[in-house]
């Protein structure tokens, strides 16, 4: 049984004060059930980089994991505006979202750059949450699977079987992100199943069965239960609905039905 991952991607939202208030409300709802929830799930918060120290402090003594939304593949150097794994780790960051569709489509990140980041995360023992997903046009053209598998193939180039087990894949169809139009659980399961099959062919059953494949794109308290009821949907990467403590708390308490 894979441990589910419910992850909040706050994107470029919340000030430090807003983050503290949100986490106080969230912890009030999650901490009392933390031991029970921890039996089959992990919860991760990925705030904007500048909020990481404040969020680390606000999460002290909780079971929440701390993630970054991006990082550079080099450890240090003349890369103005960038942050590196050795800068993140002292704050207790354990996960890093890489290749999010906004990084790919707004900031022009290529599969090659994302692959270098994945390898850097692995080198530093950070869990890469590698995002893949097709655009609306690719979806309409019927090439979703081809796009997703291509992004995965490139993004995971050079990753060994032992390291693959720790990778989290996030399937996030671009047409579903922030649109209120989530993929149906059946649509997502079809892609997730094919992703696991591809991982199995390349890295073997044991590694493929260990990798968490989470879904992202308009996840809400209303659709989370049916999404995680599918055999290959191991959790969710949540944007908009993670900004409100009440709705993210409900998502964290998801129940497969
Ligand atoms: P959304 O974003 O939940 O607001 O659709 C998800 C994401 O981009 O990770």
Query: Residue 194: what pLDDT?
Result: 98
Residue 4, CB-side half-sphere exposure with 13 Å CA sphere: 27
Residue 257 has pLDDT above 80, yes or no: no
The rounded distance, in Å, linking the Cα atoms of 67 and 111 is 21
Task: Assess whether the C-beta atom of 93 lies below 6 angstroms from ligand 1.
Answer: no
Query: Residue 1: what pLDDT?
Result: 82
Active-site residue, from 72, 95, 100, 192: 100
% of the chain surpassing 90 pLDDT: 99
66 near 94, Cβ under 8 Å? yes
172 part of the active site: yes
Mutational pocket test of ligand 1: of 238, 247, 250, the residue with most ligand atoms within 8 Å of the beta carbon:
238
The rounded distance, in Å, linking the Cα atoms of 19 and 66 is 13
Task: Assess whether the C-beta atom of 178 lies below 6 angstroms from ligand 1.
Answer: yes
- Reported as a single tens digit per residue, the pLDDT across 141-157 is 999 999 999 999 999 99
Task: Assess whether the C-beta atom of 221 lies below 6 angstroms from ligand 1.
Answer: no
Residue 102 has pLDDT above 80, yes or no: yes
Residue 12 has pLDDT above 90, yes or no: yes
* Residue 9 dihedral angles phi and psi, to the nearest 5°: -110, 100
Å from CA of 77 to ligand 1 middle: 31
Strands, E assignment, 18-159 = 41-46, 65-68, 93-98, 127-132
Query: Residue 211: what pLDDT?
Result: 98
Which residues does residue 238 pair with via DSSP β-bridges, in sequence order?
Answer: 8
Query: Residue 207: what pLDDT?
Result: 96
72 part of the active site: no
The stretch 163-188 carries a mean pLDDT of: 96
Å from CA of 71 to ligand 1 middle: 19
Which numbered atom of ligand 1 lies nearest the CA of 179? 5
Query: Residue 185: what pLDDT?
Result: 97
Mutational pocket test of ligand 1: of 95, 133, 168, 178, the residue with most ligand atoms within 8 Å of the beta carbon:
178
For residue 213, name the pLDDT band (cuts at 50, 70, 90): very high
Å from CA of 180 to ligand 1 middle: 9
The rounded distance, in Å, linking the Cα atoms of 203 and 208 is 7
- End-to-end CA distance of the chain: give it in Å, rounded: 16
Residue 108 has pLDDT above 90, yes or no: yes
* Average pLDDT of the residues of the chain: 97
Residue 180 has pLDDT above 80, yes or no: yes
Which residues does residue 242 pair with via DSSP β-bridges, in sequence order?
Answer: none
Please state, as a whole number, how many other Cβ atoms lie within 10 Å of the Cβ of residue 251.
26
For residue 173, name the pLDDT band (cuts at 50, 70, 90): very high
Query: Residue 34: what pLDDT?
Result: 96
Query: Largest alpha-carbon pair distance within the chain?
Result: 51
Task: Assess whether the C-beta atom of 239 lies below 6 angstroms from ligand 1.
Answer: yes
Task: Assess whether the C-beta atom of 115 lies below 6 angstroms from ligand 1.
Answer: no
- Reported as a single tens digit per residue, the pLDDT across 31-86 is 999 999 999 999 999 999 999 999 999 999 999 999 999 999 999 999 999 999 99
């Amino acid at each position: 049984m894979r441990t589910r991952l419910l992850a909040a991607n706050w994107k470029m939202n919340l000030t430090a004060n807003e983050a503290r208030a949100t986490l106080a409300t969230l912890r009030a709802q999650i901490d009392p059930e933390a031991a029970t929830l921890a039996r089959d799930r992990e919860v991760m918060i990925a705030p904007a980089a500048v909020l990481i120290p404040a969020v680390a402090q606000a999460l002290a003594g909780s079971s929440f994991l701390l993630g970054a939304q991006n990082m550079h593949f080099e450890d240090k150097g003349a890369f103005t505006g960038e942050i590196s794994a050795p800068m993140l780790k002292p704050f207790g960051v354990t996960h890093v979202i890489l290749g999010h569709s906004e990084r790919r489509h707004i900031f022009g990140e290529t599969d090659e750059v994302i692959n270098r980041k994945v390898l850097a995360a692995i080198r530093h023992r950070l869990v890469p949450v590698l995002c893949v997903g097709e655009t609306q046009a690719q979806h309409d053209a019927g090439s979703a699977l081809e796009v997703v598998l291509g992004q995965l193939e490139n993004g995971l180039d050079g990753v060994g079987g032992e390291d693959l087990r720790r990778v989290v894949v996030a399937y996030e169809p671009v047409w579903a992100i922030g649109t209120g139009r989530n993929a149906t659980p059946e649509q997502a399961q079809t892609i997730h199943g094919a992703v696991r099959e591809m991982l199995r062919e390349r890295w073997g059953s044991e590694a493929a069965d260990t990798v968490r494949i989470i879904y992202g794109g308009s996840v809400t308290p209303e659709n989370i239960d049916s999404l995680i009821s599918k055999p290959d949907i191991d959790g969710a990467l949540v944007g908009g609905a993670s900004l409100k403590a009440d709705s993210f708390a409900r998502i964290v308490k998801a129940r497969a039905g």
